[in-house]
Amino acid sequence: MTPPPPFLSAPFLFDLDGTLADTLPDIAASVNHVRSRHSLAPLALAVVRNFVGDGARTLVARALAEVLPDGAVARERALDLAFAEYGTHHGTQCTVHAKWFPGVREHLELLRARGHGLAVVTNKPERFARAIVQHLGAADVFGALVGGDTLPQKKPDPAPVRHALALLGWRGGGATIVGDGVQDLRAGKAAGVRTIACLFGYGSPAKLKEEGADEYWSAFGVVAG
């Protein structure tokens, strides 16, 4: 990330997967690579979509639920190995199909032109998030990036939100978090920032509406009617 430029308007913090970028095909490819190593059939995109949101390790645990050992110690050991397999594969896979959702780049540039600081706050491991942002040509757009392993905590804990605001140098109020998961909304509420729920992403629109947000987008930057 580039050093945060001076800005006058309250920051916008964005989730990555399912909010800024369509990354599901690459996530599914890595999930199915790991499943193949355990002699499991590949999962459809719609199934993997339901596993996204709580970080890559939890994603792998959900994808291998039928073969992970029952005992806590054995389960964690098996999950460590599977997560390492996922990480090795995803290191090169994560940028193969990743692309902006329609309207993202234009809206980000509009926010920057209006003086807003911008940051990514994701539960995806930081190294993958940075690779995707770089691949999409946005390394100079965001003043901060907080991944799922940047801190000991991840969303829905408010710590990543507060850390991103600190990295941006913002100490005032009025910040906004934009995301497609209840984790984003809960983290934002706990941090005392405004929340926008993306109904077009990977999260369940019904669950997002049940959780409640200050605003809903039917497409990126488009307020739902």
Q: Residues with catalytic annotation?
A: 15
Could you identify the residue written with the tokens 């710590």?
159
**Nearest CA-CA partner of 156 in 164, 148, 145:** 148
CB neighbourhood size of 199 (10 A): 18
Q: Kindly give, in sequence order, each residue whose CB lies less than 8 Å from that of residue 64, ignoring residues fewer than 6 positions away.
A: 34, 35, 38, 40, 78, 79, 82
Which residue, 51, 50, 9, 21, is CA-closest to 194? 9
Closest CA to 66 of 85, 90, 45, 38: 38
Helix axes 56-63, 24-37, angle to 10 degrees: 50
Which of 125, 171, 118 has the alpha carbon at shortest distance from 149?
Answer: 125
Say if CB 133 and CB 139 are below 8 A apart. yes
